[in-house]
Amino acid sequence: MTYRRRRGLGGGGGGHSPASRSAGDPARPTPSEARETPRWLRWSVPLGVVALLFFGGYLAASAWLSPGGGTPEAGPLAGVPELVGLSDAEARDRAAGAGLEYQVRSAVAHPRAPEGAVLAQSPIPGQRVRPGAPVAVTLSRGPEIHTLPDVSGLSERQATIVLERLGFRVASRRLTHPFEAGRAFGTEPAAGAELAVPAEVALLVSEGPGLAEVPDLTGRHIDDALQLLQAADLSLGAISYDPLATDAPGRIVGQYPPGGYALRRGDPVEVRVSGDPDRVNRSRRTPERGPPGSREG
C-alpha cells in the first residue's frame, strides 16, 4: 500500500473521499456536513410564517373596520355622519341618506335630553365604512318622573334618605314648627308633586316651636286679650273669675305667666277675670274660647 493510499488521499477502491463515492453507496457525512444547523436558521421559517399571517390579518381587519378606499365590488366608501343630538327620525333619515343601515341599540334615561334624542353612536362621525354598514345609536328615554312622597314626621336623616333614594337632591330648611326639633314636617314642592329627577327638593325641618313673649293682659277685656294672645302665637288657657274684684266685669285682673315671660309658641296663658261668670259671659263680644275646664274663683 502506498503512502497516499494509507493516508486516504488516493482514489482507490477502499478510499472514502467524496470523489470515490459511487451513486449507490450510502452517504456518509463529512465532518463539515455533520456540523449542527445554526439556531437562527431553524427559527427563521416559523417566524416568517407567523409574521406573514399577522400582517395578512392586520390588512384584512383594516379593510373591514376602517378601509381607506373602495373596491370594485363594494363601490366607493361612505362617510359616517354626525347623529348625536338629532331626533330619532332625523338621525334615521341622515343615515339612510349616507347609504348606511340605522340601528337603535338601546335607550337610557337622561335628565336633560328629550325623549328620542340620539345620545351616542357607533361608528363615530367621520369614519369611512362600506355602503350598507350598520350605524348603532343609543336613544334618550327622557328624564325619569318620580312622585314626591310625604315624609312628615320622619327624622331629618330618615327623610333625606327616602328622598335621595328616589333621585332627588335634598336641601334642608329649618323653621319654627310645633313638631319637635329635628323632625321633618313637609317639603317644597309639597308631597304628591311629580318631578323629573334629579330635581332639588327643600326638606322642611322643625327647629322646635320657638319662644314667644307673653303680652301684658291686665286691665284688658277678655276679648281683647284673646286677640293679643293669637297675635303672639300663644293660646288662651284656663279662665278663672273674681266676683270681688273692683274692675268692670270682663276685665283681666291677673294672668299666668306674667307679661314679658317667654313661652313656647302655642302654649296657653291663664287669666283671672273680674265679675261672676254669668255676668261676664253676657257682656262678652265674642264666645268664650277658654278650655272646657275653666275654673271659677
Q: What is 155-175 written as a DSSP string?
A: BHHHHHHHHHHTT-EEEEEEE
Question: In the prediction, which pLDDT does 111 show?
Answer: 84
- Tracing cell 293679643 back to the chain, one arrives at 228
User: Three cell numbers at 41?
Assistant: 436558521
* Confidence at residue 164, expressed as pLDDT on a 0 to 100 scale: 95
151, with CB counted inside 10 A (0-12, 13-18, 19+), is buried
Residues of the chain with CATH 3.30.10.20: 78-140, 145-206, 211-283
CA distances from 142 to 108, 121, 139, 193, 199 (A): 8, 17, 9, 18, 14
Q: How far apart are CA 178 and CA 180, in angstroms?
A: 6
Describe the strand order of the beta sheet including 235-242 as a list of residue ranges: 235-242, 268-274, 252-256
Cβ proximity of 147 and 104 under 8 Å: no
- In 3-state terms the chain splits into helix, strand, coil percentages (rounded to 5) of 25, 30, 45
By DSSP bridging, strand 268-274 and strand 101-108 are unpaired
CATH class of 145-206: alpha beta
Q: Give, as one character, the DSSP assignment of residue 37.
A: P
**CA angle, residues 71, 77, 82, in degrees to nearest 5:** 165
The alpha helices in the chain, defined as continuous H runs, are: 3-6, 39-65, 88-97, 156-165, 222-231, 277-283
Q: Residue 245 is placed in which grid cell?
A: 274684684
262: left (phi > 0), else alpha (psi -120 to 50), else beta?
beta
Torsion, Cα of 6, 10, 13, 16 (10° steps): 80
Q: Which pLDDT tens digits describe the chain residue by residue (297 residues)?
A: 454 555 554 444 444 444 444 444 455 555 555 555 566 566 666 666 666 776 666 665 555 555 544 444 556 898 999 999 999 999 999 999 999 999 999 999 888 899 999 999 999 999 999 999 999 999 999 999 999 999 999 999 999 999 999 999 999 999 988 888 899 999 999 999 999 998 999 999 998 888 889 999 999 999 899 899 999 989 999 999 999 888 888 899 999 999 999 888 889 999 999 988 887 777 666 544 444 344 443
Q: What is the pLDDT of residue 266?
A: 85
Amino acid 264: pLDDT: 85
CA-based nearest residue to 11, from 22, 24, 25: 22
| String of DSSP letters for 265-283 | TT-EEEEEEES-HHHHHHH
In eight-state DSSP terms, residue 202 is: E
78-140 sits in which CATH class?
alpha beta
211-283 in CATH: which number? 3.30.10.20
